[in-house]
A = this chain, B = another copy of it.
Amino acid sequence: MSGNSFGRLFRITTFGESHGCGIGVVVDGVPSGVEIDVDYINRELKRRRPGQSSISTPRDEKDKVEIFSGVFEGKSTGMPIAMFIANRNIKSTDYENLKDIFRPGHADFGYYMRYRMRDWRGGGRASGRETAARVAAGAIAKMVLDKWGITIYGYTRKIGDIKIKEIDYDFIEKNPVRCPDKETAPKMIALIEDVKQEGDSIGGEIELTISGVEAGVGDPVFDKLDAVLGHAILSIGGIKSFEVGAGSKVSEMKGSEYNDRFIKRKGKITTHTNRAGGILGGISTGADIIIRVAVRPPASIAIEQDTVDIDGKKRKIRIKGRHDPCIVPRVVPVVEAMAAIVLLDSILIKKAYATV
């Protein structure tokens, strides 16, 4: 109930603060007998970690996961898999002068009003570092989904007003901005570098294409697949919108334009178009699941800002330290991870209720 767990049958519980000893996650509900590839988890963590290129923060978090439990002779035992990622390269002193100040765009104020105290070192629990635990848990989910032929492609769709024109999945991981479009990537990078020069930051958009999910996944009424995906993904810090399929564009569409007509293709019933984004009535149709989210510009900027402190006194701050001018590329694997968690969870539920 305190918000640090997510999922039903596949359920993760995370813990840890930005500048404490580390970040961790307990992954419960992993079916037994799954080969757990630690290198894969570390590779996923590397995709998220900062210091990957000139467009992200130079803070170099050499994250290596330690597995504490639930794996025996290389395979999941069905018991909870606890993973821990130690914090290294920590400089709490960067934050000491900010401890009584509410940073604009950050969670400081709300946490203070809720808990009447807070671990101010680097945002504490509200730091983006928390997402490392999600990525580690998501890597476990992906290992299972992979056996079932399910693939999740996440990529940067937009940085500022620069938008992709085409999608080449193979190009995504070949550029630091995770853009699937060879022509657009350098423009996005240039924009981020400009913004960085100004001491400012910039937002963007991420898209997810999930293929291989069979029809019939998702639950009725309150746990519609898109609602649960929405919960999972909107819980990632900095995401301010969530769309499925045609998304916000449906507000201008007519029924005759929006409805995807059913057809039979290769012996399977499917839809001719995919405006619904692979989900109808909260249940998967077998078509690709398409999700789009907007990521706000990072709140920590070098430009001077007005704010107040705990006593409401006016203060000026200029956030030093090593911050990302744009977090979109680093959020891509986090969004993928949350989607993977929801999908595995939903498929386990479907299995539970399979025809008596």
B1 x A349 contact (CB < 8 A): yes
Query: How distant is the Cα of A144 from the Cα of B275 in the complex, in angstroms?
Result: 39
Contact of A252 among B102, B160, B262 (CB under 8 A): B160
For A249, the closest partner residue in chain B by CB is B294
Contact B284 A110 (CB under 8 A): yes
CB within 8 Å of B: which A242-261 residues: 242-261
Contact with B along A1-24 (1 / 0, CB 8 A): 111111011010111110011101
CB distance from A103 to the nearest CB of B (A): 9
CA distance A77 to B249 in the complex (A): 34
Looking at the assembled complex, report how far the CB atom of A147 sits from the nearest CB atom of chain B, in whole angstroms: 6
A237 interface residue, CB < 8 Å from B?
yes
**Does A303 sit at the interface, judged by CB under 8 A?**
yes
- Each complex incorporates copies of this chain amounting to 4
Chain B residues, CB < 8 A from A224: 3, 234-235, 237
Give A77-103 as 1s and 0s: 1 = Cβ < 8 Å from B's Cβ atoms: 111111010000000000000000010
Question: Is A263 in contact with chain B by the CB < 8 A criterion?
Answer: yes
Contact: B227 with A234, CB < 8 Å? Answer: yes
Q: Does A240 contact B (CB under 8 A)?
A: yes
Beta-carbon contact of A124 and B281 below 8 Å? no
Pair B110/A280 contact, Cβ less than 8 Å: yes
**Chain A: interface size category:** 35 or more
Partner of A250, one of B203, B216, B227, B277: B203
Chain A positions 126 through 160: 1 when the CB is less than 8 Å from some CB of chain B, otherwise 0: 10001000000000000010010000000000111
* Apart from A2-B11, A9-B9, 14 more pairs, CB < 8 Å: A2-B220, A3-B282, A4-B80, A5-B13, A13-B28, A17-B79, A106-B280, A113-B215, A113-B216, A114-B215, A203-B253, A222-B231, A249-B294, A254-B297
Interface assignment of A164: CB less than 8 Å from any CB of chain B? no
User: Given A109-B285, A261-B306, A262-B308: A296 and B253 within 8 A (CB)?
Assistant: yes
Q: How far is the CA of A283 from the CA of B115 in the complex (A)?
A: 11
Q: How far is the CA of A303 from the CA of B261 in the complex (A)?
A: 13
Q: Residue A210 at the B interface, CB < 8 A?
A: no
A125 contacts B by Cβ under 8 Å: yes
